[in-house]
Amino acid sequence: MSLDSITQNIDDAVSDFFDPVATTVGDIVFYTVPVGGTELPLIVAWLVIAGLVFTGWFGLIQARKLKLAFDVVRGKYDEEGSPGEVSHFQALTAAVSGTVGLGNIAGVAVAVSIGGPGATFWMILCGLLGMATKFVEVTLGVKYREEHADGTVSGGPMHYLPKGLAERFGNGGAKLGKVLAVLASVMILFFGLFGGNLFQTNQSYAQISSTFGGEDGFLASSAGAVLFGLVVAALVGLVLLGGIRSIASVTSRLVPAMALIYIVACLAVIMTNVTAVPDAFASILEGAFEADGVAGGVIGALIVGFQRAAFSNEAGLGSAPIAHSAVKTKHPASEGLVALLEPFIDTVVICTMTALTIVIANPASWGEAREGESIGGVTITSDAFETVLPWFPNVLTLAVLLFAFSTILTWGYYGLKAWSYLFGRSKASETTFKAIWSVFVIAGSLLSLDSLISLADSALFLLSVFNIIGLYLLAPVVKRELNTFLEFVRRRSTGAGGATGAESEESAVQATKTV
């Protein structure tokens, strides 16, 4: 029996067993209600409403404190001796690497095909709202992180939910927080293994084998798949062994470089068709209120745009605080401000650039998709670039590979923290996880396991239910932390030094109403 037949049998067996489970869970998590002639997933509404609430609660912080966020990233308010493992910039790139990927390249193409150009407008709006949610969850991640004796730290919803709720509501809060923390850890671990690992390897292998291997090439064979999986597993393992410092070192170079290449390519298409830019913007604005995509109608464009943004930047899901919690800082809100840049980079910049490139280039495949034909999103994006840069599909393949690699790294770290919370931080426990993670990398080049991927997507967005409940309950803590940091910034700016201890807390409480 050949390896191909073995893997096909495994795929079929897993699908037969998990398809009913994946379908049932998916129907619950992504339950839709009819709105304006189309279907609105309630989980998307849950995420968008959180963005609206936190935007109002913190007084449009994503606009008012955007410059301060950039100042923090470049180290203007760094302090010697701050606990943590990585810089603000490294924490940001590590978290961004977990969100920037195939969704920005392929998912956006699907959005502007289903919802028309107008979906871009709503995608941007949702990204802006997500900035406020990201600020809240990351501030809590740093506030309640656990500092270990070896200098490493652990953070995320599995830490701030039990600690924060116990601090605010006593024993009752502690019990609720513990339950939410365990559920959050399970969701993160499950999605990490299947969505953040196996799916990324599977899709990147499919892309490289189709681009460089061909149907009869070595890469398309079972041996080529195994070799690809082994190489990726070895590279991932080497980086994971170094912990978040090693991951941040790689992503701080990889993510900016790939994002820059991708944005420059988008600009090349846009500038070559510069005369079409005004019409493209007009179609985006008009389409937002007079949508003509497959979904049809304003509500269709709105829902598709919101859905694409929510799935892309992960604001409110509780994943990013795990990476951001490793930052070197004494002020939790400082990293919260840094984190609000994440949806801005992921959705407002990169997703929008993809959408604008497609709208301006107007490839034939996009027109066919808007008529209802089934065409892969990455094909539409690739065709848009090919109108100006015939050689760019090869570069796009490289970008997909590197984005997938960085996503596997970041979700490996997220998965390790969830595993450690559930099973302990012993060397044996962590080694076991890393071995399992590497096996899933290799398996990803051979198996598709579509039903488990669907189940993993449900798990990730179910995580947002547990996480956002905690965010609402702990928002007053975030407001105090923000005022503490703003007081520190004020003192630093006037040359008075940073407030500390009780003085800082008192200033924060007095300033709470002025945020």
Helix segments in 194-276, DSSP class H: 199-208, 222-241, 243-272
Distance CA 335, CA 69 (A): 8
- Total domains present in the chain: 1
Q: Is residue 154 part of a domain?
A: yes
State how far the alpha carbon of 397 is from the alpha carbons of 10, 294, 326, 423, in Å.
28, 28, 31, 37
Written as one string, the DSSP assignment of 377-389 is: HHHHHHHHHHTT-
3-class secondary-structure state, position 262: helix
Residue 331's region, left for phi above 0, alpha for psi from -120 to 50, else beta, is: beta
Q: What is the pLDDT of residue 102?
A: 65
Q: Is residue 5 part of a domain?
A: no
Q: What is the pLDDT of residue 292?
A: 54
- Sign of the torsion formed by the C-alpha atoms of 117, 122, 128 and 134: negative
Distance CA 421, CA 394 (A): 41
Q: What is the pLDDT of residue 504?
A: 47
Distance CA 460, CA 190 (A): 8
Q: What is the pLDDT of residue 1?
A: 60
- CB under 8 Å, gap of 24 or more: what pairs does 25-30 form? 25/455, 25/458, 26/454, 26/455, 26/457, 26/458, 28/458, 29/458, 29/461, 29/462, 30/458, 30/461
Q: Is residue 8 part of a domain?
A: no
Q: In 104-171, at which residue ranges do the beta strands (DSSP E only) sit?
A: 146-147, 153-154
Distance CA 366, CA 363 (A): 5
Tally Cβ neighbours within 10 Å of residue 43: 21
Q: What type of residue is 437?
A: W
Write the DSSP symbol of residue 217: S
Q: What is the pLDDT of residue 502?
A: 43
Contact criterion met (CB below 8 Å) for 464 and 47: yes
For residue 52, what are the domain limits?
A: 14-489
Q: Is residue 191 part of a domain?
A: yes
State how far the alpha carbon of 163 is from the alpha carbons of 184, 269, 325, 472, in Å.
14, 50, 14, 15
Q: Is residue 497 part of a domain?
A: no
Contact criterion met (CB below 8 Å) for 202 and 445: yes
- Sign of the torsion formed by the C-alpha atoms of 242, 245, 250 and 251: positive
Q: Is residue 240 part of a domain?
A: yes
Residues of the chain with pLDDT under 70: 1-2, 4, 11, 36-37, 101-103, 210, 213-220, 291-300, 374-377, 496-515
Structure tokens at 391: 């050689």
Whose structure tokens read 């992960």? 314
Which of 289, 303, 288, 295 has the alpha carbon at shortest distance from 372? 295
What does the buried/exposed string (b/e) look like for 98-117 if buried means 16 or more CB atoms within 10 Å of the residue's CB?
A: bbbbbbbbbbbbbbbbbbbb
Contact criterion met (CB below 8 Å) for 468 and 25: no
Written as one string, the DSSP assignment of 49-88 is: HHHHHHHHHTTSHHHHTHHHHHHHHTTTT--TT-SSSB-H
Whose structure tokens read 């062994």? 241
Tally Cβ neighbours within 10 Å of residue 157: 34
Q: What is the pLDDT of residue 183?
A: 92
Q: What is the pLDDT of residue 514?
A: 44
Q: Is residue 504 part of a domain?
A: no
CATH of the domain at 361: 1.20.1740.10
Q: Is residue 232 part of a domain?
A: yes
Contacts of 241 (CB under 8 A, 6+ apart): 434
Q: What type of residue is 471?
A: L
